[in-house]
Amino acid sequence: AQSVTQPDIHITVSEGASLELRCNYSYGATPYLFWYVQSPGQGLQLLLKYFSGDTLVQGIKGFEAEFKRSQSSFNLRKPSVHWSDAAEYFCAVGGTNTGNQFYFGTGTSLTVIP
Amino acid sequence: EAQVTQNPRYLITVTGKKLTVTCSQNMNHEYMSWYRQDPGLGLRQIYYSMNVEVTDKGDVPEGYKVSRKEKRNFPLILESPSPNQTSLYFCASSLSMQGTETQYFGPGTRLLVL
């Protein structure tokens, strides 16, 4: 069965520091990969997505993610975190490669210290 | 404005009282989906629909029904709600099921079943 693992339940970083959120997936082929952000009391917003090609993907709000096939990982990064980045982050796999279903990780909650 | 709307946003009900949560999108999207979000479990897909009159089960369909009679609407029906269906529910839509398409999420419906 497909699965998505986000090993870090909660991360705290100082404003201006770099950030890396981990995501590992379990799937036979390369799925379509996504990162979403959920601000408190809000729905989910897509940060970036990967299907093929360049393994380094740029997204909105200064985020990027790198797909590493050998590690089945799709980690999210940001060079300098802003206080407004405090939110819940979800990694997901989905699309036609996963039988038209989407699978989400359990999320990583990010706290930003001024 | 392109959006996914859900109603109601908040709902308190009692065990066994049938309820419907509506979902509507104004983007002419083919693919629509329902998720539930629970602490520590992330988002789990309940049902999805590839197009009008085409629906399929996600990971956690038990206790739920859906219908897709019109392209824009995808209601979620709880015939006999139980306390374990207390959750935050999200509707989402995308142009198609191709992985390149972005899923747009509604604002969520918070349901409490007593």
User: pLDDT confidence of A41, banded at 50, 70, 90?
Assistant: confident
Res B101: pLDDT: 79
Pairing of strands A56-58, A10-14: unpaired
Q: How far is B1 from chain A (nearest CA, A)?
A: 16
Which of A32, A43, A90 shows the shortest C-beta gap to B42?
A: A90
Interface test with A, best of B43, B56, B59 (most A CBs within 10 A): B43
Triad A18, A23, A24: Cα angle to 5°: 145
* B39 at A interface, C-beta within 8 A: no
Residues in chain A whose Cβ is within 8 Å of chain B: 4, 6, 9, 31-32, 34, 36, 42-46, 49, 51, 90, 92, 94-97, 100-107
Calculate mean pLDDT across residues A44-63.
92
In 3D space, the residue among A6, A12, A9, A7 whose CA is nearest the CA of residue A86 turns out to be: A12
Q: What is the pLDDT of residues B54-111, one digit of tens each?
A: 999 999 999 999 999 999 999 999 999 999 999 999 999 999 876 667 889 999 999 9
Which residues of chain A lie closer than 8 angstroms to B98, CB-CB? 95-96
**Could you tell me which chain A residue has the CA closest to the CA of B58?**
A101
How far apart (Å, rounded) are the C-alpha atoms in residues B57 and A107? 23
